[in-house]
Amino acid sequence: MKNFFSNLRGDIFGGLTAGIVALPLALAFGVSSGMGPSAGLYGAIFISFFAALFGGTNTQISGPTAPMTAVSMVVVTSILAFNDGDFEKALPAILMVFLMAGLVQIGLGLVGIGKYIRYIPYPVVSGFMTAIGIIILVTQILPLVGYYPKEDMALVDQYRPMAQESILRKILKEESRESMLVLEDFQETIDRSEEVSEENILKEAKALAGKDTSGVMGAINMLPRALQHINWLELALAFGTIVIIYGFKKITTSLPSALVALLVVSGVAYGLGLDYRSIEQIPGGFPIIHFDMFTQFRLDSITPYVFTAFTLALLGAIDSLLTSVVADNMTKTQHRPNRELIGQGIGNSIAAFFGGLPGAGATIRTVVNINAGGKTKLSGMVAGVLLLTVLLALGPVASKIPAAVLAGILVTVGIGVIDYKGLKAIPFLPRDTKIGPFKVSSEVIIMLVVMVLSTVWNLVYAVGVGLVLASLMFMKKMGDLTAERSDVKTLEQEKGWADEAAFPESLKRKVFIKHLKGPLFFGFTSEFQQLAKQIPRSASTVIIRMDRMQYLDQSGLYTLEDVLIDLKNSGIEVLFVGLLEQPRYMMERVRLIPSLISENRIFIDFKACTAYLKSNLDQTVDVSKEN
């Protein structure tokens, strides 16, 4: 407890500064997710407080972030569509997915996964982050110009026939579930369909219009129509916000430019009495716990999103631990990765109970906290308390913020999220993979595949595809590299290793040596078989040097067994030199040793192997003359 308050003044100032920076972003991320500004604010409050309290990075400031919001947007949109666009009906399932993501993070921390997060390939992360930036930019085009498809009645009217059909399908589905849909009761179905009001048809048509115009492709499809219905006031407010954010940074960085832009543009718009669109009403008072996520729980409504919840948890883990590394570099400290995952999981789980958006460690906010003097967990907790105070005291005031201001803030966030470092490196990365007649960089392929699939298809699946693709290409590279370095030649053809220099000349024509200079694993098995076929069946002995073969997997083990059987059937004696611990263990498990290779054919070094050959290979050789 003494250490907790050891930097009281610095932590309070750092937490207050970070909380001020977080406020406009929390509201903007909430709106972008489709859950409303209050969800972003709730997420920032609870994640910041509890992730700091239970986490493993003292200076970390957590809350909704651009990547987490982008994936949350997918969850919200999908579950809304499953629930016919009814947000209140969909909310329990949405929050249950967020809760599952938090619990998965806790589990990852408890089993010690934190230290392995660093093995996520950079091209996957780069492509994903660039896609996040593109998604945010494209999806903000419509609110940027003040066009909202659900309010375009000419567009909504086009969906009325589909809305009536959709409502009828729901009636049939409901009656089928209630076992009412039989021939004699069909008149009741007709009666119920005739009772459908214009209000319900309009609501369903708006839901369908919103579904078709959501996401990147929906925004692109609506762009021509949006440009015909530009609200110049909304566009001016958004543009003014962007100009202030970038312009104020050139004047000073002591104040967060996003907050300055929010206050200035909102103040001007409200003060002049402009007829602008404000954000959704932020409920006053302390957030309520959503017990309905349990009382209205339906397994079929969240089962399709279990993988999404896991991806959300993994993304939050990566995002948080990368920020922890930044904090370590700035403070010269060492974070505890598994403890950090547990803290993030607790924060996300509690936020889900209160209807908050999931989040992760936020790099900008963490850097601001450190620069302002924050050094302990108290700083993150102070940031959460500040945001709670804003919610309780200024909720009605915050509800007057123009929606265009938050769109402008999100545009700058999208521009900042794009991984320009990775994009700039594309022309300079080595072209190590051949596709048809062209040589390309495997890392560029992975980056572009993840970026394109994330943007136009599905963020969750795109990351999975990227990881699989990166793994396959890595295995191919390792197999090619091992094959390139490992060859089968006589000692007269190959430049031997240093300890082979004194090998008797008379034996060089009879002995073939196989140098294994890397792991024998499933990515190298086919090449190993091809190299083994190079050994002429006229050879009397083959030495397989395993000094540098540190690893042997099951595929490599059985391939090696096949090669040894083939050589044995050809009457060729096989000797092992420098067999290491792990490969020996694998061979002993399947009785390859001693069934195919006896202990007296395994030598600790090449000198011992040479001594054996001198005395046993060819009794006609006068070995004494060689020495």
Rounded distance, CA 110 to CA 125, Å?
24
Q: Indicate if the pLDDT at residue 319 is higher than 50.
A: yes
Residue showing tokens 């044995």: 568
CB 129 within 8 A of CB 337: no
Residues 6+ apart with CB under 8 A from 313: 100, 101, 102, 104, 105, 108, 345, 348
pTM beyond cutoff 0.95: no
Res. 329: pLDDT tops 80: no
**Closest residue by Cα to residue 55 from 121, 124, 105:** 105
Contact 63, 399 (CB under 8 A): no
| Residue 13 CB neighbours (<10 A) | 17
Mean pLDDT of the chain: 82
What is the pLDDT at residue 175?
A: 58
Max avg pLDDT among 116-125, 236-245, 555-564, 586-595:
236-245
How confident is the model over 156-183, as pLDDT tens digits? 888 888 887 777 777 666 656 555 544 4
pLDDT tens column, 73-98: 888 888 887 776 778 888 998 999 99
Whether pLDDT at 38 is above 60: yes
pLDDT reported for residue 338: 92
Count other Cβ atoms within 10 Å, centred on residue 23: 24
Give me the helices (H) in 486-543, please: 505-508, 525-532
pLDDT of residue 356: 94
**Which range has the worst mean pLDDT, 12-26, 72-86, 295-309, 443-457?**
295-309
Average pLDDT, integer, range 119-146: 85
Q: What is the amino acid identity at position 566?
A: D
Contact 6, 370 (CB under 8 A): no
Report helix, strand or coil for 519.
Answer: coil
8-state DSSP, 520: B
CB 511, CB 491: distance < 8 Å: yes
Cβ atoms 134, 451 nearer than 8 A:
yes
59 neighbors 328 (Cβ within 8 angstroms) = no
- Taking CB atoms within 8 Å and a gap of at least 24, the contacts of 250-254 are none
pLDDT at 623: 38
User: Is pLDDT at 39 greater than 60 in this prediction?
Assistant: yes
CA angle 67, 72, 73 (to 5 degrees): 100
Query: Given a cut of 60, is residue 184 above it in pLDDT?
Result: no
Q: What gap in Å lies between CA 37 and CA 401, rounded to an integer?
A: 10
pLDDT at 67 over 70: yes
The alpha carbon dihedral of 76, 47, 408, 405 has a sign of positive
Q: Check: CB of residue 30 under 8 Å from CB of residue 38.
A: yes
Q: How far apart are the first and last CA of the chain?
A: 77
Report DSSP letters for 551-569, one per residue: -B-HHHHHHHHHHHHHHHH
At 253, list the tokens: 């960085």
For the segment 466-471, the average pLDDT, to the nearest whole number, is 84
CA distance 256 to 43: 20
Secondary structure element (H or E) that encloses residue 47, with its range:
helix 37-54
Rg (CA), the chain: 32
Which has the closest alpha carbon to 557: 530, 524, 533? 524
Q: What domains can you pick out in the chain, each with its CATH number? A: 8-125+280-402 (no CATH), 147-229 (no CATH), 429-483 (no CATH), 505-618 (3.30.750.24)
Cα distance between residue 90 and residue 76, in whole Å: 8
What confidence score (pLDDT) does residue 626 get? 43
Q: What is the DSSP code (8-state) at residue 495?
A: -
The angle formed by the CA atoms of residues 5, 9 and 10, to the nearest 5 degrees, is 95
User: Residue 483 has what pLDDT?
Assistant: 55
As a whole number, mean pLDDT of residues 467-492 equals 64
List the structure tokens of 43: 């997420």
- Tell me the range of 24-33, 305-314, 380-389 where mean pLDDT is highest: 380-389
Task: Output helix, strand, coil percentages for the chain, rounded to the nearest 5.
Answer: 70, 5, 25
Q: In the predicted model, is pLDDT for residue 488 greater than 50?
A: no
Q: What is the pLDDT of residues 397-425, one digit of tens each?
A: 888 889 899 889 889 888 888 888 888 88
Distance CA 427, CA 416 (A): 22
The answer to whether the beta carbons of residues 563 and 532 sit under 8 Å apart is yes
Structure tokens, 198: 């214009």
**Segment 507-549, tens digit of pLDDT:** 777 788 888 877 887 766 776 777 677 777 777 888 888 888 8
Does residue 519 have a cis peptide bond before it, meaning omega lies within 30 degrees of 0? no
Mean pLDDT of 332-348: 92
Assess contact for 59 and 370: CB atoms under 8 A.
yes
143-172 b/e (C-beta count within 10 Å ≥ 16 → b): bbbbbbbeebeebbeebeeebbebbeeebe
Higher pLDDT, 526 or 265: 265
Mean pLDDT on 46-60: 94
pLDDT of residue 547: 86
Whole-angstrom distance, CA of residue 14 vs CA of residue 372: 5
Tell me how far the alpha carbon of residue 2 is from its chain's centroid.
Answer: 38
Give the three-class secondary structure for 435.
Answer: strand
Q: What is the pLDDT of residue 238?
A: 93
Integer Cα distance of 103 and 32 in angstroms: 24
